[in-house]
Amino acid sequence: MRAMQHFASDNYAGICPEAAAAFAAANAGHAPAYGEDDWTRRVSDRLRALFDTDCDVYFVFNGTAANSLALAALCQSYHSVVCHELAHVETDECGGPEFFSNGSKLLPARGGNGKLTPAAVLELISRRSDVHYPKPRVVTLTQSTEVGTVYQPYEVAAISACAREHGLRVHMDGARFANAVAALGVAPADITWRAGVDVLCFGGTKMGLPVGEAVVFFDRTLSEDFAYRCKQAGQLASKMRFLSAPWLGILEGEVWLKHARHANAMAQRLAAGVQQVPGAKLLFPVEANGVFCELPEHVLTGLRERGWRFYTFIGAGGARFMCGWDTLPDSVDALLADLRALSA
């Protein structure tokens, strides 16, 4: 019998074959530590090519660190960061951004479908201008969002323009950046630096890597001494090649996009099925790899009894089903079958 797949998180998945192969290939002989190796150099160049610009690239261990370090590089402790109220930095990093920045405050804004708007940003940053309240310094966007939606390039650009006009920098949490690029069918540059993003945290783990994210500075003046920041904060890998090499595996031949498209397609398949289930209701447009839906309590209980794992506290309530690079159509169909059976 095949082991069950889960929809709890795209990080329940393992390592994709292409990343695994690159990882194994990197394990040959000696290599200089701390990122002075060839693998890291090659991947960095590859990312610069991908983004079509001479950006600065750093590899760190996870998303909490990537986001927190990037924000700390943009902020002093008395600054504040405008984020969506459902943003991961606000809801799921246990105060990581506040810790790394030594106290920068997050200012949560509301917004439909998990997205910030220029108006919401503006409202927050113009509310106060006295020293008794932290000075707004950064806007952070999550692309794709925590509720499975995607910012259009013009939406990112509009928020960036508003930010820049008021002296704020723009950070993008791209834990699921691949899914957004796959969904939009645009060049990565078009929803990052060309749309005004200063720094992107490009998620690797959810794309099929074992560990690690890339912090990509499009404005290189912001990454001054960032290597020191990483080192001090326990985010400089000694055997860096094992963080960087797997990226090569998925960047070659657009494997990362292939996987992201697949995950998105599985989410569409699931969403289509959910819409046929009586009593089930999609909570957000399904644009990337997550499906959020309202389900009766007995259905939620029943799914759990049948062994399915998923979260209900993330985002705006409801049940969250995440699809990954490895989600099988059969798994989606099995979940749908159980959903239908329980809802009958």
**Of residues 213-242, those binding a copy of itself (CB under 8 A):** 225, 227-239, 242
Closest approach of Cβ 312 to a copy of itself, in Å? 12
**According to the binding rule CB under 8 A, does residue 1 interact with a copy of itself?**
no
Of 43, 58, 134, 179, the residue at the interface with a copy of itself (CB under 8 A) is 134
**According to the binding rule CB under 8 A, does residue 343 interact with a copy of itself?**
no
Return the residues of window 92-121 that contact a copy of itself according to CB under 8 A: 92-96, 98-100, 102-105
**According to the binding rule CB under 8 A, does residue 302 interact with a copy of itself?**
no
**According to the binding rule CB under 8 A, does residue 307 interact with a copy of itself?**
no
Q: Are 111 and 120 in contact (CB under 8 A)?
A: yes
Q: Name the residue type at position 31.
A: A
Cα 304 to Cα 33, 299, 331, 333, 334: the distances in Å are 45, 9, 15, 16, 14
Of 1, 307, 313, 344, the residue at the interface with a copy of itself (CB under 8 A) is 313
**According to the binding rule CB under 8 A, does residue 309 interact with a copy of itself?**
yes
Q: Are 5 and 328 in contact (CB under 8 A)?
A: yes
Cβ proximity to a copy of itself: between 62 and 143 the closer is 62
Closest approach of Cβ 329 to a copy of itself, in Å? 16
Return the residues of window 156-215 that contact a copy of itself according to CB under 8 A: 205-206, 210-211
In angstroms, how far apart are the furthest CA atoms of the chain? Answer: 64
CA-based nearest residue to 136, from 159, 110, 104: 104
Which residue reads 């595996």 in tokens?
Answer: 249
> Phi-psi category of 167—alpha, beta or left, where left has phi over 0 and alpha has psi -120 to 50?
left
**According to the binding rule CB under 8 A, does residue 14 interact with a copy of itself?**
yes
DSSP reduced 3-state for 53? coil
Q: How many residues bind a copy of itself (CB under 8 A)?
A: 79
Of 38, 45, 49, 77, the residue at the interface with a copy of itself (CB under 8 A) is 77
Query: Which long-range CB contacts under 8 A does 90-94 form with residues at least 24 apart?
Result: 91/146, 91/314, 92/314, 93/63, 93/64, 93/67, 93/68, 94/64
Of 22, 26, 178, 299, the residue at the interface with a copy of itself (CB under 8 A) is 26
Return the residues of window 37-76 that contact a copy of itself according to CB under 8 A: 60-66, 68-69, 76
**According to the binding rule CB under 8 A, does residue 6 interact with a copy of itself?**
yes
Phi and psi for 296 in degrees, rounded to 5? -60, 150
β-partners of residue 83 are 108
**According to the binding rule CB under 8 A, does residue 85 interact with a copy of itself?**
no
**According to the binding rule CB under 8 A, does residue 29 interact with a copy of itself?**
yes
DSSP reduced 3-state for 253? helix
Cβ proximity to a copy of itself: between 7 and 151 the closer is 7
